[in-house]
């Protein structure tokens, strides 16, 4: 309903279940769905979408309590007995519809009088899971859900059926109701994952980030379209069609480039590391808010090249000098440089307050296409599916390039997924390595950007990142 206003409470009903919801509130709301893990997932939308949401479920006219399973007494464990869970299906549908209707005015306000801008897409990386969300809204977009997340984990064979008191097969009911309420084409899918809790959590975080991305892109598009319209109308030979085309082009361009417009930190973010062992002697310095400059002397041309690619795309200032035992092989030099680089990054980022925290970027070089998905989570994890076909990439072994990405992620205290896209039969190892390094740099640039709306707060539903 276009008449609904931001922050106004809406109600959805299914059977004996009612859900009252509001979004865009000035302060954090109250979330009580009757299913504790569901409460936690709705809270991911709050933390990662930066939208305060209130969602209160009642059953038979009685409000359920936050973080309590409606199907069990207060002192009992959560129930997974279907006979005791008569209202689950209605809860998922009512919450999806109510939350969607509460969010809709935010989208309607942002996209009013705008041409349709490209879909928003985000991948949210967790250790043991990587899920994607694609959100498309606007004139002419019909409500539709494309959903694919099963199996939920590796154990038992075929995946889990429950996480806490949440019956996982009911999740599409929530997402479908949400998509209908938003009049959105919504995709929720799993890229990879072996842990059911994290597969579900990753999907909610991905949706939240895609929604925030969409609102930000629509705002950027609206501003750009207004400026382009004013300029086109001043032209003596302009026609209404030319003015509309100029506005549409400007809106699309602004929407696509909006993530690159976030400000950098006003405080210098630097890290330095001198490391000397029997195998290597390294001096490394890193400035996060640099200009893409790199001076790398590691003794390995391929390592120097990927470090340069990383620094250039990340907008960093990087200095590396290494004297290693290359008379033995490339192992210690590659590994130790990557360790020092990660340590310097962790130092430079500090407590990460105000950082955007998550980012994803895709780079294509030749026939190589790599997407990097990063979370400055303080939970080190690295996962990849890079398909190197040769033993060596220049003067560095393929296995050590992968090991370098792993060492960097571990010591940088981040979750990092690398996904090789495309089905090219032949991919140059050099292009694959450089595409990965460039994608990591671009993802880091998004993660490290300061979002002024966070006012120095940490981007986490817990209020802090794991130590």
Q: So what's the pLDDT on residue 259?
A: 53
Residues 186, 290 within the same domain: no
pLDDT tens for each residue of 318-338: 999 999 999 999 999 999 999
Domain count, the chain: 2
Residues 294, 186 within the same domain: no
- Displacement of CA 101 from its chain's centroid (Å): 24
Residues with Cβ within 8 Å of residue 241, at least 6 apart in sequence: none
Q: So what's the pLDDT on residue 3?
A: 46
- The mean pLDDT of the chain is 91
Residue after which a domain boundary falls, among 178, 193, 219: 219
Q: Is 1 a member of any domain?
A: no
Residues 208, 342 within the same domain: no
Give the closest residue to 414 by CA, choosing from 447, 458, 369, 456.
Answer: 447
411-426 mean pLDDT? 95
2-12 mean pLDDT? 78
What whole-number distance in Å separates Cα of residue 454 and Cα of residue 94? 30
**Beta bridge partners of residue 318, listed in sequence order:** 286, 294
Residues 310, 440 within the same domain: yes
Q: So what's the pLDDT on residue 114?
A: 76
Residues 373, 299 within the same domain: yes
Residue after which a domain boundary falls, among 176, 201, 219: 219
The answer to which of 181-195, 221-235, 343-357, 417-431 has the lowest mean pLDDT is 221-235
For residue 388, the domain's CATH number is: 3.30.230.40
Residue 13 tokens read as: 């009903």
Residues 208, 89 within the same domain: yes
Give the closest residue to 448 by CA, choosing from 364, 354, 325.
Answer: 354
Residues 60, 201 within the same domain: yes
Q: Is 406 a member of any domain?
A: yes
* 3 state SS of 341: helix
* 3 state SS of 365: strand
Q: Is 203 a member of any domain?
A: yes
Is the model more confident about 7 or about 464? 7
Q: Is 370 a member of any domain?
A: yes
Q: So what's the pLDDT on residue 239?
A: 81
Which DSSP letter does residue 118 get? P
Q: So what's the pLDDT on residue 222?
A: 77
Largest CA distance in the chain: 76
Asked if residue 34 has pLDDT above 50, the reply is: yes
430-443 mean pLDDT? 99
Q: Is 243 a member of any domain?
A: no
* 3 state SS of 148: strand
pLDDT tens for each residue of 68-115: 999 998 778 888 888 889 999 999 999 999 999 999 999 998 888 777
270-276 and 293-297: which strand pairing?
unpaired
What whole-number distance in Å separates Cα of residue 341 and Cα of residue 383? 19
Give the closest residue to 341 by CA, choosing from 395, 378, 293, 288.
Answer: 288
Residues 79, 172 within the same domain: yes
Q: So what's the pLDDT on residue 461?
A: 53
pLDDT tens for each residue of 57-67: 999 999 999 99
pLDDT tens for each residue of 213-268: 999 988 887 777 677 777 777 777 778 777 577 666 766 666 566 555 456 677 88
249: number of Cβ within 10 Å: 14
Asked if residues 248 and 222 have their Cβ atoms less than 8 Å apart, the reply is no
**Sign for the pseudo-dihedral over CA of 262, 264, 266, 267:** positive
Domain span at residue 206 reads 10-219
Q: So what's the pLDDT on residue 2?
A: 39
117-127 mean pLDDT? 94
Residue after which a domain boundary falls, among 176, 191, 219: 219
Q: Is 261 a member of any domain?
A: no
Residues 79, 163 within the same domain: yes
Residues 277, 201 within the same domain: no
22-41 mean pLDDT? 95
pLDDT tens for each residue of 290-305: 999 999 999 999 999 9
Residue 167 tokens read as: 């019956």
Q: Is 259 a member of any domain?
A: no
Helix (H) or strand (E) holding 447: helix 429-448
Residues 29, 156 within the same domain: yes
What whole-number distance in Å separates Cα of residue 88 and Cα of residue 165? 9
Q: Is 246 a member of any domain?
A: no
Q: So what's the pLDDT on residue 4?
A: 57
Residues with Cβ within 8 Å of residue 350, at least 6 apart in sequence: 269
Rounded (5°) CA angle 41-44-47: 155
Q: So what's the pLDDT on residue 75?
A: 77
pLDDT band at 464 (very low <50, low <70, confident <90, very high): low
pLDDT tens for each residue of 131-159: 999 999 998 999 999 999 999 999 999 99
Residues 209, 315 within the same domain: no
């Amino acid at each position: 309903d276009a008449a609904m206003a931001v922050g106004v409470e809406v109600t959805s009903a299914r059977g004996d279940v009612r859900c009252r919801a509001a979004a865009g509130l000035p302060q954090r709301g109250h979330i009580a769905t009757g299913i504790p893990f569901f409460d936690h997932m709705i809270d991911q939308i709050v933390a990662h979408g930066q939208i305060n949401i209130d969602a209160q479920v009642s059953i038979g006219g009685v409000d359920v309590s936050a973080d309590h399973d409606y199907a069990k007494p207060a002192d009992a464990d959560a129930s997974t007995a279907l006979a005791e869970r008569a209202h689950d299906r209605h809860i998922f549908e009512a919450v999806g519809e109510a939350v969607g209707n509460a969010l809709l005015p935010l989208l309607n306000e942002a996209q009013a009088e705008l041409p349709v801008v490209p879909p928003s897409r985000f991948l949210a990386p967790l250790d043991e899971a990587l899920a994607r969300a694609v959100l498309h809204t606007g004139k002419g977009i019909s409500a539709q859900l494309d959903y694919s997340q099963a199996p939920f984990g590796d154990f038992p064979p075929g995946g889990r059926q429950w996480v806490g008191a949440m019956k996982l097969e009911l999740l599409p009911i929530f997402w479908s109701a949400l998509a209908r309420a938003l009049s959105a084409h919504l995709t929720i899918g799993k890229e990879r994952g072996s842990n059911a809790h994290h597969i579900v959590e990753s999907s909610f975080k991905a949706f939240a980030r895609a929604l925030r991305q969409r609102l930000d892109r629509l705002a950027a598009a609206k501003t750009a379209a207004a400026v382009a319209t004013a300029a086109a109308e001043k032209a003596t030979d302009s026609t209404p069609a030319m003015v509309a085309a100029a506005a549409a082009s400007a809106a699309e361009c602004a929407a696509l480039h909006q993530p690159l417009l976030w400000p950098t930190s006003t405080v210098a973010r630097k890290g330095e590391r001198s490391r000397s062992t029997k195998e290597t002697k390294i001096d490394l310095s890193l400035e996060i808010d640099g200009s893409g400059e790199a001076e790398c002397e590691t003794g390995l041309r391929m390592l120097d090249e990927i470090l340069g690619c990383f620094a250039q795309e990340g907008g960093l200032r990087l200095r590396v000098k290494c004297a290693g035992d290359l008379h033995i092989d490339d192992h210690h030099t590659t590994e130790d440089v990557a360790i020092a680089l990660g340590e310097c990054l962790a130092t430079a980022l500090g407590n990460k307050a105000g950082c955007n925290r998550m980012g994803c970027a895709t780079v294509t070089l030749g026939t190589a296409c790599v997407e990097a998905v990063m979370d400055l989570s303080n939970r080190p994890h690295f996962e990849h599916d890079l398909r190197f076909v040769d033993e060596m990439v220049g003067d560095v072994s393929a296995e050590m390039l992968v090991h370098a990405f792993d060492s960097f992620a571990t010591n940088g205290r981040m979750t990092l997924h690398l996904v090789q896209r495309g089905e090219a039969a032949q991919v140059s190892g050099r292009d694959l390595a450089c595409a990965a390094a460039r994608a990591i740099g671009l993802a880091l640039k998004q993660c490290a950007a300061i979002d002024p709306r966070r006012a120095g707060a940490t981007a986490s539903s817990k209020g802090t990142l794991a130590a």
